[in-house]
Amino acid sequence: MAKVGLDSKFEQRSGLRWLWVAMIVFMVDYLSKIIIMGTMAANGEKPIAVLPFMNLYYVHNTGAAFSFLSTEGGWQRWLFGFIAVVVCGFLSYQMRQASITKTAHNIGCALIIGGALGNLFDRVHYGFVIDFLDFYYKNHHFAIFNIADVAICCGAILYLLSSINSPRSVPK
């Protein structure tokens, strides 16, 4: 019976214990951007081929995903920063409410939080986001990303999948 009590207490622990994933994402994103800034010129002449579908190409993105609102006068920096803070707060609250055993949900939230904080740091510190992962197929190039963006995309997929697969509570 003691084991059942321990399992029950473990399940009652908050999903916030998964925030270490967010910190790892933030640190890897930060370090990758430091390396890119130290070794490449922004909007350089030639991308560096890494894989048959990916180049390294360093750019400054003042907008959001796919350079959305990048041509605006700078106010978007604060809008996207505010959105990042709100999203991180909302997801942290959801993690606090979730059991530690809701692994996919908590890791999804943590990946999004880590990525959002990585891009928020760039916006506040530099005034733009550092992007450098140029994915392509043949001559068709996708948007240029960074580690934070990849974490946000993977986190969103996990979050959605965990939402679809979780049982709905039925009102009484």
Give catalytic residues, as residue numbers.
131, 149
Backbone angles phi, psi at 49, to 5 degrees: -70, 130
What's the rounded Cα separation, in Å, for the pair 63 and 50?
Answer: 25
Region of 71 on the Ramachandran plot (φ > 0 left; ψ -120 to 50 alpha; else beta): alpha
Give the C-alpha separation, 144 to 72, whole Å: 19
Structure tokens at 64: 């959001």
| Alpha helix ranges (H) inside the chain | 2-12, 19-39, 75-97, 103-125, 147-165
